[in-house]
Amino acid sequence: MAGYLIRRILLGLLTLLLITMAIYALIRYMPGNPLATDAAMMNPENMPSEEDIQRMRAAYGLDKSIPEAYAHWLTNMIKGDFGSSFAEKKPVLDVIGSRVTNTLLLTVPSLILAYILAIPIGLFSTARSGKSDERLVGVVLYMLYAIPSFIAALFLQLLFAVKLEGTAFELPLMGTKADDYEALTNSEKIWDLLEHMILPVISFTYVSLAYYSRFIKANMEEVIRQDYIRTAKAKGLGPFRIMIHHAFRNTLIPFVTLLGLSLPALLGGAIILEQIFNWPGMGQLYFRSILTRDYPVIMGLTFALSVLTLLGQLLADILYAFVDPRISYQ
């Protein structure tokens, strides 16, 4: 196991190196640079002199060649210094840190909801397989799965923020806070945040809910055909106990790996959804930093997401060995 882990980690480091290299080269090839996208610089009355531009290029490291600048970024990164955001003039780690909570506010409840709801739906679908109510649930899940989350988000906004405006069901269109947030009491503040979270969390949840439920059902269908389920039935166990204790426990193996693979999405958020809900999270940060050519932030986010993806894969494999004693990494 230790040898396997070391090999995986070394390979992961190599992958990280190659990814950051590729993304660094890519963003440096983007037309335009951070100096040209800053609104203050575009002001014709306030055009910076040629010397100023040269000085700023040097300060941003834009005067170096791409390999040189990448090596510079890499050595600083190893020392724990990710540089400063061009747009916000703050260290990259602070910029990302200020956004992580917002993204976690959406992704954690959505992950928990998806798992809590998917298990009973999956078990129900297996137990009632082929019956009319199961078919209905199946069709609804299938349709949900085909709706892109950004379209569901827009439809939810139309329904709850525009159509139901002025009724008791009205929900905020976007953002994280009401306009009069500062004037609210603490309990009202929490309620306000919850209200703002409802639509984004639903949009985050339903696709994975549909996917997980169908996933559980597909796995359960395979398991309940096994001999040991027939044995359990033959010795007179109730259907509930067979379902939970004998069948479901054995579908946990592939289910657990899904958990590992959802790690990057947990922190990465979603670019399109956060943009639609104007939610100041990681996805929106990524989008904005590409638009403003904020190289250090793009690199910091790419690095963080790649680490999470690799860790997620590793975690999935380790969990796999943990829940399934037949698998060992020798």
Partner 1 sequence: MKETTAASENKKSPGFWRHAWLRFRRKKLSMCALIVVLLLSLVAIFSPMIAGTRPIVCKYKGNLYFPCMAYFNADWENPIFQKDRFRKRYPKNLKEKDPDSWAVWPLIFQDPYRPVRNKEWEDRPGNPFNGGEPSSLNIFGTSKGKDVLAMMVHGTRIALLVGFVSTGIAATIGIFVGAVSGYFGGWVDIIISRIIELVMCIPSIVLILALMAVIEQPTIWHMMAILGFTSWTGMARLTRGEFLKLKESEFVAAARSIGVGPFRIMFRHILPNALAPVMVPIVFGIAAAIKVEAGLSLLGFGAPPPNPSWGTILNAGMTNYTEWWQIVFPGIAIFITILAYNLIGEGLQESTDPRLADPKD
* Region 255-314 residues binding partner 1, contact defined as CB under 8 A: 264, 268, 271-272, 275-276, 286-287, 290, 298, 302, 305-306, 309-310
- Shortest Å, Cβ 314 to partner 1: 12
Asked if residue 147 binds partner 1 (CB under 8 A), the reply is yes
- Shortest Å, Cβ 323 to partner 1: 23
- Cβ partners under 8 Å of residue 233, min gap 6: 242
Strand-pairing partners, residue 84, are 91
Instruction: Select from 5, 6, 26, 36 the one that contacts partner 1 (CB under 8 A).
Output: 26
Cα(78)–Cα(26) distance, integer angstroms = 21
Of residues 32 and 120, the one with the C-beta less far from partner 1: 32
Phi, psi of 142 (to 5 degrees): -65, -45
Angle in degrees, CA 286, 290, 295, rounded to 5:
95
Q: Are residues 19 and 306 in contact, defined by beta-carbon separation less than 8 angstroms?
A: yes
Angle in degrees, CA 163, 184, 112, rounded to 5:
65
Q: Which span (26-34, 77-85, 189-197, 317-325) binds partner 1, by CB under 8 A? A: 26-34
Cα(209)–Cα(114) distance, integer angstroms = 5
Instruction: Select from 84, 85, 103, 157 the one that contacts partner 1 (CB under 8 A).
Output: 157
Asked if residue 239 binds partner 1 (CB under 8 A), the reply is no
- Shortest Å, Cβ 26 to partner 1: 5
Of residues 110 and 275, the one with the C-beta less far from partner 1: 275
Q: Which of 55, 28, 202, 216 is closest to 129 using CA atoms? A: 216
Of residues 205 and 302, the one with the C-beta less far from partner 1: 302
Instruction: Select from 6, 9, 13, 30 the one that contacts partner 1 (CB under 8 A).
Output: 30
x-marked contacts with partner 1 along 169-208 as a string, rule CB under 8 A:
----x-----------------------------------
Per-residue tokens: 128? 């009632």
* Region 62-121 residues binding partner 1, contact defined as CB under 8 A: none
Per-residue tokens: 244? 């939970």
Q: What is the DSSP string of 149-180?
A: HHHHHHHHIIIIIIITTTSTT---SSSSS-TT
Rounded to the nearest angstrom, the gap between the alpha carbon of residue 135 and the centroid of all alpha carbons in its chain is 31
Of residues 53 and 147, the one with the C-beta less far from partner 1: 147
Phi, psi of 91 (to 5 degrees): -60, 145
Question: 58: burial class by Cβ within 10 Å (0-12, 13-18, 19+)?
Answer: exposed
Per-residue tokens: 310? 């690799």
Q: Which span (50-58, 125-133, 161-169, 215-223) binds partner 1, by CB under 8 A? A: 161-169
- Shortest Å, Cβ 162 to partner 1: 5
Instruction: Select from 68, 97, 108, 155 the one that contacts partner 1 (CB under 8 A).
Output: 155
Residues of this chain that interact with partner 1 (CB under 8 A) are 11, 15, 18-19, 22-23, 26-27, 29-31, 142-143, 145-148, 150-151, 154-155, 157-158, 161-163, 173, 264, 268, 271-272, 275-276, 286-287, 290, 298, 302, 305-306, 309-310
